[in-house]
Structures are given as C-alpha cells and as structure tokens.
A and B are shown apart, each in its own frame.
Chain A
C-alpha cells in the first residue's frame, strides 16, 4: 500500500501528460530530432583527437530479464467518484493484484501480468453496495518507453525519501550533516540530484552532488537587518528587489514557495476566508492550525502565486516570520567573500565529488528497505560508475596580427603567450574622455600612465584624454556626459568609487541609447593595488579596443561563406517579468567582428518574433560586409530551459526557416540549430595515476552518455581552478549543413576560443557569451534596445 499511494501522486502527472495535457518534462523525453537528420542516422560520433579514458557519474540500471511494466485501465460499475474509494475497493483484492503496485484512480501499473486481458473483480462498499471493477490491460511498456522512464524516476525519488533525505525543489538533501557558515548566516546541506534516462546504449542513473544553500534566519530577520542597513527610505524597494524571486520554506509544511511580491497593505492581522466560508485572521489561523504564535503583528506579508502552465491559479499569503529563505540573493552572489566561503564547501574536486556520489549508491545498496523496494519492481543498479573512451581534440593556434601562438592546452589560456603582441586591429584613442572624482584623482592618473605603458606594444595609438573631475553624484556624471560627449569621441572612461548600480545604469543607459558612444566603467578599488595595476590596465586596454570595434586574435576557421549566430536570454524577475534576448552574429570570415542586437520582449509578445527580425538585419549586414549572403548559418541557441526543447523544435526552428525564405526567392542557405546547455548533471573524470582529475580542455564525448534520439555531444572546453569542470552539452536539433559530426564539434570548439573578454577558452561558443553579456546589460541596466549605431561593435563587454 505504501508504494501505491506515494507513487500514484506522481503518476497522476503522468497520466495527465498521456492524455495530451502539457506537463513539465524536465528531460525533454519524446523529442526525437535525430530521425530527421539523415547524415547522422548511422553514426553521430566524431573520430579526430587522441583517445582518453573517462569515467562519469552515470550508473547502469539493470533489471531482470523481460522486464516490463503492465499498464491497466480500471473501470467501476457503478461509477465511483472518490479516488480514495476507488483505490480502497480495488485493493480489497490485494492477493490478486499484488503488494507492488501504483494506482492513480484510473490507471494501474503492475510489475506483473494478471494473466487475462480483462479481469473482473467484485467489491463491496461499506454501505453494502456491490461494485464491479474491470481491470483491462491496455499496454505492456518496454523498459525504454518514456512512461517507464518516468516511472523509474518516481521510484528512485521514493528511495531517496526512504533514506531520510529531504526534498527541496527537484533534489534531495541530507539535513543531518549540515555545513554552517555563520559569518554569512548560511547553512549548506549536502544532497543529490538524480535522473534516470535512456542513454545511448542503456538506461542509466545520473547522480550528482548538489548543495542547497539555506539561511539560518527567517524572512522577518532578513528584513530587519536590511532595514538597519539601508534605512527607512529605500527599505520597501530594497525588500522587493532582494526578496522577489527567492524561494522560501515554511515552518509548518514541507512546501516551497516563490516570493512574487511583498504586500505592505496587509499584515498577520489581516483576514482571509476559509473554505467553509468563515473569516479568520492569519494570526488566529496559525495559532489554531499549527499552534504558532506570530510575535510581530505589524510585519508585511509575502505573496506567492500558484501557477500552472504559466497561468496564475491563485495566490498564497505567507508570513515573513514563518518563512526561511533558500538560496542566495543577488547581493550575496555578487559578494566575493560570501562566494569564496561557500566555494570551499560546494566546489568539490573530482575525486571527492565522485566519492560523495559513491556514498549515495552505497546507502542504496546497504539499506534493506530500499533493496526490498527495488526488488519488488525487479530493478537494480550497477554500483560501479560507467567508464568509456572520450577524445581530446587538438588545441587551436592563436593568430594575432602576423604572429602565431601555441598555448598550453592544459591551462586553456594564452594571456602570457600573447602579451605585448600587436592586435589584429587596434583602434586609435585619439579623442577620449576620462571622468573621475576628486577622491579617485590618483588612481585616474595611475590608470592613464599604465595605459600609456601597455598600449604601444598592442599597436594602439593613444592621445592624452580629456580629464574631467566630477562630483560624487550621479547627476554630476550625467551632466558631464551631456556636455562633453559627441560622436567624435572614441570612448568614455568613467572611474567609479563604488559599485552603486544606479550610477552605473544611468551612465550605460545614456551612452548606449541617447548618445551612442562606447564607454568603460572602472571601479576605483580595482586600480588601487600597485602590484596588479599593469595586468588590470592591459585587460582594460583590450576591452576598450573591442568596444571601439577592434579585433584581438583569431583562430583558423576553414569553412567559408558561413554566418554564426549566438542567442541567449535574460529573464528579469523583479521588474515586470521582462525578458531580453541577446542576438549576436558574425560579420566576417575570421569571426572577429560581430553584429549585435537584442530583443526586449514586451508583454504578450513572443521572443522569437524579435529574433526573426534580428536574423533579417543580421543577413543584411553580412551582405554589406561580404557582398554576398552566407551559404551556411549556424545558430547556437543558449538560454533554453529544461522541458522547452519541444517548443524550440516545433516552433522556433520553423520560424527561422520561414525567415530565411523571405530574404530572396533563390536564397536557400543551409541552417543548423544547436541548443547549448551549461547546466547539466553529467560530470566526466579523467583517470590519471589511480586518481581522478578533470578532463583536459578539448575533451569531446559523443557516446554512451548521450541520448540515442538526439544528435548531441558534450565538450569540455574550459578549465576550472577549483572543483569539477562542467561539460557543456550541445544538442543539434536541426542540421542541413551536411557537415560531419567531427567538423561541427571542431567548429564549436574553435568558437569557444573567440571570446575577447577572456584570453582563453570559455565554456560556450563566443557568440553565446556575447549574447549573454548583451542581454544581461540590457536586462539589468538599460531596459530598452540600445542604439543600432553601436551594433557592429562589442560595446557591451
């Protein structure tokens, strides 16, 4: 009976989905894109590179031979309404049905066949009514069917619960073994994320270590300390800014809620109508229901909206005093010390990470109840993680104005190698402004002198700037900008004495929209350390050069007539749910110049409409630069959430194709769309000298842990100093390029070398990172589309 009820709640979702309703399917099951791509039908694996032995955090699921799940429809005559009653009546026949079952009121799953296609059972209600129950076999599900996979996941989650792990969100955590970080009032719970999926050759469990950051204080405590920090005036705004979008736990139930608003008009003294129609105050309610006394009757309340398929179903009112925050606020995330203290506990090196995962498997193996449960369903796991061979493709050569550099592939960084070498295209700084406050006068001069030292070797011609001292006020900065900036100015450099967001936003807004001139903001603090000033100045010089339209380095791109597109999204959860899509496309053969636009989504408008418009202008610009149209277009699409793949395949890709048709009647370029995903559960480990290490940059995985129904692969392109490297997942959902997998993988890896704000390889192709940067700047600071005059420069770096 235990299993029955627990699982059926999960299965309810399942049957809903089967009936055609749209349910969140985080694993994008049932999206089969590979079948439409003939050239990867046989094989989607590449060949180049040297082989490397890898292990992973996947574990094979082994089930008894001929494992199948039997799906039955259960009908009642006369009709029974109550689900509980239906369930009770059915399980009067437990000896026939068996102890292991899952039932949601109409669909019954059993690990065994009842023998007949139709089984009739007779039960009696307590009121003496006789009921005929008809159990009809509707389906025999092979272990690989999506329903079965969903089913495995439900069972596995149950196992985690049996191991006394607490579910928060999608993952399970161990509250018995917390890590306290008292100076930030944080508590970290270690835990696991898990998913069971059909991979290339077998069904596997992917288990990863997850950490839940929790707070040792209530939302009310948090509000009090915020109040004492920033005072009354900005308090309400700050509360909304800090709290909206965060997830809270409550003192009285095991649910999580997302804060959508803080209501200052309501308080615990406010009332609501109960389902029986009576009116009760929140204070009375919590006292009566949970025996909880609310100590502060004047606190505001939190509003959380219950949503289903994006439609608001109702609102829940929460008391700050009874809620505790989970996760980090933006403020904490931007606090270097907080993140550093956290990283010590959450960034586990490969060896340790794999050991923690092993511990989970060990718990599963050792727990009798868990083993019994698994046994009832005829399931078991291979307790040793999967090992296989990956490939490390060769490193790229870095070209910079006439010279060529090799970098150490182990570090994936060429800062040292290219230091002092002339840039491909150095933009002169003949006419520029340097704005600073009285307090920053010294650092402004330090910066200037350092720039004079580092720019000549790069080939940047630099004049003395117009040095302008301003007051420590946002208006003062703006006034100077309005008076002194004109289109002839190459770049405006502002030295800011604090990381105040509103000031930064105002400057960026003015210089990106009203008066389109590249700008560089520098925090005075970053310039205050003599030992690092030259490094900082070098970076700033390079960054400014890119913002003005310069080019730093390139890699060899053998494909001709190609346009690369990167798309990423930024979702603003605080102010009005505005979404911004960044769109960046290449302009030249060497992929050193980019065209950048963004779409600010207005209410009720689909993001893809804007993206279409971007694609059209991108092609027009490509034509201007190359005097022809590209014959191949590769779109790297980032910012796709779990479960959104279907929409992308069935809606966005056709829109792209439509858009290309509108360019010209005889124009039919080959389009490729690749979904880029940074947040994946898979981890790879290189076996080295008996231990585990991060795989080297350039590691490509396109077997065993990829999905058979997709044309997908993983690339580890970057390196990390601490912890485990996360591979990036590339899913080619549409491909008319006819390129071999090898070539597409290489192209992707090459593009990871082209992000000019980092002289090394990054996690995603450069256009994705550019698109991300642009969307972030617009979403965070500018809130409308920047002036198109800037669109041929990387002004948002």
Chain B
C-alpha cells in the first residue's frame, strides 16, 4: 500500500489543493532548489514518484531510492530509465539513478556521502525495533548534510472523515506534534544536527494550534563532512540489493562527448561543403533572384539563433581537385562545436581517427564525388 493513494482518499473531503502528497513532494523539490544537493537518497521510495520528479532537478547527479518492498519499486522503475531523447541529445550533467531493496534499519555503504536524505511518510511504517535503529542508521551512519522527515500529525486526524485511529492500516503509530518533535530533537542532539519544524496541509482557520496535517522536520548536520575519519570506522559490507540502475548518457562521459562532437563536426562540414560546391542544376538562377529581391530577413516571429556561419578569410574552406578541405579552425568557430569542445586542442583530440583529415591534420576532407552517383 502506498501513501499517495491514502491521501487521495481523504482529500476528497478536507480538500487540499494541490493534494497533500504533491505538497510534500513540492516541499522536497523546493529544498533541492535551495540547497542544490548533488547526491540525494529517498528512503521508503515506494513507487518512485518522488524520484521521478527529482530526476529533472539539474543539480542532482546521484539519485538513490531505498524500499523494503522490491515489487512496489519494480512496478514503475522503468519510468526512471533514460528517455530516447536523453540518448539522442545527452545532457551536460551526469546522472545515475539506483534503486536498492533493503531496510532503513540496516547500514549499507552505498548510502554514504549523500547531501540530502528524504524520509517522506516513512517512520510511521516502521516497527518499534526498526524505529529504534533508524536514527543511528540515518544520522549516525549515512550522516548526510540534510535530512527531511515527514510523518502524519495525529492531532489533525479528527478533522479527517473516516479516520478512526490511524490513517493507514500499515501505520504502526501516528504522533502528535509534541511526540514527533521530542523524538526529532533527541535524535538531532545525539548526532549533532539542528532541526527545524514545519509541515504541509494547513489547519482550518481558528484551529492553528493543531498544526499541519503532515509534520516535517528538516535536519541540518552541524559538523563539516569529514570523510576519512568517519569512513574508517564504518562497515563496508553491502546488505542492500540493487534492483535497478540507470546511468544517463552525459557529455561528461568521453564516449558520448566524442560522439556528439564527431556528429556535429561532420554535419557542420557537410553544410559548408554544400555551400561550396557549384549547385548542380538543383535550383535555377531565376529562383535565386526571386528570393534575393523579396527576402527581407524579418526576425519578428522567429528569433534566428542559428549560429551564423562567420567564415574567417584566412581559414576559408576550399576545393582542390576532387576534394573539399574545410579547416578545423572554421569548424571550431561554429557555436555548437565550440561549446561542446571548449578548446581547439580538445576538438582535435576528440575527432582524431573518427573524421578524415588532411595530411597535416588541419582540415576535414570530403570527396566531391559522392554526390551524384547513380542518380
């Protein structure tokens, strides 16, 4: 059973707009936008809905999910896979999404080094024994810079129609504000974190004292990260099982960068070659004249941000015999190529062996023959 569905249920009566679960996710998203964590883990990720939202946050490079139930994760895990477009146009940032099957009561080194760990509507599902180990695992072992914990506020329950005791049959407990804050403060003190309390789902006017429908604690680690000393005492045995791993194509990966650069270089060179070669009866003069006289580049409707080909006189492409020479310097001046490579040296290095170059390696060479074979 998952938590989103339970909210949908009662939101029908006490209307939260947007629905409460969305507000909780938005809360996490805002936090990510504010602190720009690179590595984020969601404990109790269930059907990965939060992870699916977070994968669009461009600051995140490592995204992990952990759940005690493998099948609920597997249900929608394929939606965390890269999209076709992620392959076609690899992004600048690198991103790895991993799903683990395991318990928050166990320590696994794969959870080390995270910047943000979220536990959205998780703790109320824990058995007493698990809850007892939870602070040591999350604050003591994982020790991320920020921890977010949300849980139902039992004081709000009387306002929710149909809720007798607990909001969900799998809930082991639901705390009031004092209980949650007491528990949170104790954990924070013990592991050297500070904590601030907030929530989502405002109480009706006049009943502010009962607090938010969902109470949230945001924990900040007070000490700076100290990898070596901390790591040395931590166990290295892996107990979680990886159920899913997706490495997104990224230009940080030399393979994808090279591919992107080679593609761009060849395409760019192809455009230049086309402009260079005499038009072979393709378009007649009459038509060109027509166009020249009438064509007034109006950029109103459609901003022209195509990299205008500015060809430096000193490095002009030329035709020699049956070959076209397009200097790399010209190609490098194209905005897209330029942006991808950064430096001219990088360009040369990336296309080496992948694109036919002139003897001195300064120009891309194309054959002019290719064009009209058996047309």
Contact = CB atoms under 8 A, between A and B. Distances in A.
Interface of A: 1-2, 5-6, 82, 84-85, 88, 124-128, 161, 164, 166, 168, 173, 175, 178, 180, 182-183, 185, 187, 189, 214-216, 218, 223-225, 227-228, 231-233, 235, 249-254, 264, 276, 289-292, 295-296, 298-300, 324, 336-337, 340, 439, 471-473, 497-498, 524-526
Contact of A250 (B85, B162, B266): B85
25 contacts: A2-B74, A85-B5, A124-B169, A126-B166, A164-B81, A175-B84, A180-B262, A182-B267, A185-B267, A215-B88, A216-B88, A232-B296, A235-B302, A249-B83, A254-B84, A264-B301, A291-B56, A292-B56, A298-B302, A299-B302, A340-B373, A439-B284, A497-B281, A498-B281, A525-B280
B69 to A, nearest CB: 8
A249 B84 contact: yes
A249 B301 CA distance: 24
Given A2-B74, A166-B84, A296-B303, A232 B298 contact: yes
A324 to B, nearest CB: 5
B302 A223 contact: yes
A253 B82 CA distance: 10
Contact of B263 (A126, A185, A227): A185
Given A276-B18, A291-B58, A336-B375, A497 B303 contact: no
A214 B263 contact: no
B270 interface: yes
A227 B56 contact: no
Interface in B265-322: 265-267, 270, 280-286, 291, 294-298, 301-306
A292 B83 CA distance: 15
Query: For A128, A189, A291, which residue has the most chain B Cβ atoms within 10 angstroms?
Result: A291
B209 interface: no
Given A2-B75, A337-B371, A216 B167 contact: no
A299 B299 CA distance: 11
A787 B5 CA distance: 66
Interface string B339-359: 000000000000000000000
Given A85-B9, A175-B87, A185-B267, 19 more contacts: A85-B5, A126-B1, A126-B168, A166-B81, A166-B84, A180-B262, A180-B263, A182-B267, A223-B302, A224-B306, A232-B296, A232-B298, A250-B85, A251-B85, A254-B83, A254-B84, A439-B284, A471-B286, A525-B281
Nearest to A440: B281
B75 A291 contact: no
Interface in B133-165: 162-165
A324 B305 contact: no
Contacts of B34: none
A385 B199 CA distance: 61
Query: For A183, A228, A233, which residue has the most chain B Cβ atoms within 10 angstroms?
Result: A183
Contacts of B306: 224-225, 227-228
Closest 10 CB pairs of A and B: A182-B266, A127-B162, A182-B263, A224-B306, A1-B71, A175-B87, A291-B56, A231-B295, A183-B270, A2-B74
A232 B1 CA distance: 57
Nearest to A161: B78
B159 to A, nearest CB: 14
A85 B374 CA distance: 65
B57 A291 contact: yes
Given A127-B162, A227-B304, A249 B284 contact: no
B72 to A, nearest CB: 6
Interface residues of B, number: 66
A175 B285 CA distance: 44
B231 interface: no
Query: For B75, B165, B296, which residue has the most chain A Cβ atoms within 10 angstroms?
Result: B75
Interface of B: 1, 5-6, 8-9, 17-18, 56-58, 71-72, 74-76, 78-79, 81-85, 87-89, 162-169, 259, 262-267, 270, 280-286, 291, 294-298, 301-306, 370-375
Contacts of A164: 81
A232 B281 contact: no
B56 A252 contact: yes
Contacts of A173: 84
Given A232-B296, A296-B303, A524 B84 contact: no
Nearest to A6: B75
A252 B91 CA distance: 13
Nearest to A256: B84
B5 A251 contact: no
A298 B85 contact: no
B260 to A, nearest CB: 8
Contact of B84 (A85, A214, A295): A214
B282 A498 contact: yes
Contacts of A1: 71-72, 74-75
- The binding surface of chain B is classed by DSSP as loop
Contact of A497 (B78, B284, B305): B284
B56 A290 contact: yes
B59 to A, nearest CB: 9
A233 B263 contact: no
Nearest to B1: A88
Contacts of A525: 280-281, 372, 375
B266 A183 contact: yes
Nearest to B59: A291
A625 to B, nearest CB: 40
A180 B297 contact: no
Contacts of B305: 224, 295-296
Given A88-B5, A180-B263, A224-B306, A5 B88 contact: no
Contacts of A296: 303, 305
Contacts of A125: 169
Contact of A253 (B1, B83, B167): B83
A349 B232 CA distance: 59
A180 to B, nearest CB: 6
Nearest to A471: B286
A254 B302 contact: no
A340 B165 CA distance: 71
Contacts of B88: 187, 214-216, 249, 324
A4 B294 CA distance: 62
Contact of B71 (A2, A161, A189, A526): A2
Contacts of B371: 337
Given A126-B167, A166-B84, A252-B56, A218 B303 contact: no
Contacts of A6: 75
A291 B95 CA distance: 15
B302 A249 contact: no
A290 B74 CA distance: 23
Given A264-B301, A291-B57, A126 B85 contact: no
B317 to A, nearest CB: 15
Nearest to B262: A182
B58 A183 contact: no
Contacts of B162: 127
A797 to B, nearest CB: 20
A13 to B, nearest CB: 19
A498 B263 contact: no
Contacts of B57: 291
A340 to B, nearest CB: 8
Contacts of B8: 82
B263 A216 contact: yes
Contact of A183 (B71, B267, B295): B267
B295 A233 contact: yes
Contacts of B164: 127-128
Nearest to A265: B301
Contacts of A2: 71, 74-75
Given A88-B5, A168-B84, A183-B266, A233 B75 contact: no
Query: For B262, B266, B301, B303, which residue has the most chain A Cβ atoms within 10 angstroms?
Result: B301
Nearest to B82: A175
Nearest to A99: B71
Contacts of A324: 84-85, 88-89
Contacts of A85: 5, 9
A266 to B, nearest CB: 11
